[in-house]
Copies of this chain bind each other. A is one copy, B any other.
Amino acid sequence: MSIVRVHNFSVSLDGFGTGEGQSLDAPFGHAGHRHMEWFFETRTFRAMQGKTDGSMGVDDAYASMWGPGIGAEIMGRNKFAASRGPWESVGMDDEWRGWWGDNPPFHTPVFVLTHHPRPSIKMDGGTTFHFIDASPAEALAAAREAAAGGDVRIGGGVATVREFLAADLIDHMHVVVTPIVLGRGERLWDGLEDLDSRFTIEAVSSPRGVTHLTFARR
C-alpha cells in the first residue's frame, strides 16, 4: 500500500517552517538557512551536491529516509519558485526551472501546485515537473497514479504540508525541531489543534542539538 510521507521538514522552536520576506535570493526569508543547518551537514545532503563527505550519525539516518520508496513528489509553487502570480509577471515564463540545476535530486515526477498551470518540464535524471491547479486530494490522486505503486512525498513548503495535514492525507511525517526562535514567518502548526490525536509521535534528539519527531498515523 502506497503511503504519503513528509521528510526533513525543519521548524524553529516557535514552529516556523520559514521566515518572513521570502524571495529568490532568500527562499526562507529572514531565517536564512539556520533551521536547515543540521541537514546541510549530512551525507544525504552532501550527496545531492555531488559530494561524498558529510555526517553519518542519527541526523543522517533520518535525512536518508527521504528517498527510498518514493515514486512522486508534490510541492507548493513557493518551493519551486519563491514567487506568486502568473509566471510571466515574475519573469519566470522561460528560464526558471527550479533551484536544483539540470539534474534535480528528485528523479521522479514532481507535481507543483499552482493556480497558474504551464507546460511540464522534463529534466535530466528522471525528474519531470508538472504544474497543476488542484486540491490536495486531486493532486494526491495524480501523484499516486504517476508513482506507479511508490509512495508520495509532500515536499513542502509550509502551507502545502499544513493543507495536506488538515485534509488528513499524511501517513508519515518527519519534523525536525531546531533550537532557534525565528519570531516570524509561516507556522507549521496553525489550525492543526489536536493533530497529535491522529498520530503516534516519537521524539529523538541528536547530539547536534535538534530533535527528530516522527508522526505515524494511528
Contacts and interface: CB of A to CB of B under 8 A. Distances in A.
B177 A181 contact: no
A193 B183 contact: yes
Contacts of A109: none
Interface in A174-218: 177, 179-184, 187, 189-196, 201-206, 209-211, 213
Interface centre among A181, A195, A213 (most CB of B within 10 A): A181
A192 B202 contact: no
A113 to B, nearest CB: 24
A14 interface: yes
A27 B204 CA distance: 30
A64 to B, nearest CB: 20
Interface centre among A14, A179, A189, A203 (most CB of B within 10 A): A203
Contacts of A193: 181-184
A204 B211 CA distance: 8
A85 B47 CA distance: 60
* Majority secondary structure, A binding face: loop
A81 interface: no
Contact of A211 (B15, B181, B187, B203): B203
Contact of A201 (B192, B203, B209): B209
Contacts of A177: 13, 177, 203, 211
A209 to B, nearest CB: 6
B181 A189 contact: yes
A179 B201 contact: yes
Interface in A10-51: 13-15
Nearest to A206: B203
Given A14-B187, A14-B189, A189-B13, A181 B209 contact: no
A180 B177 CA distance: 14
Given A14-B187, A15-B15, A187-B14, A203 B192 contact: no
A15 to B, nearest CB: 5
Nearest to A208: B203
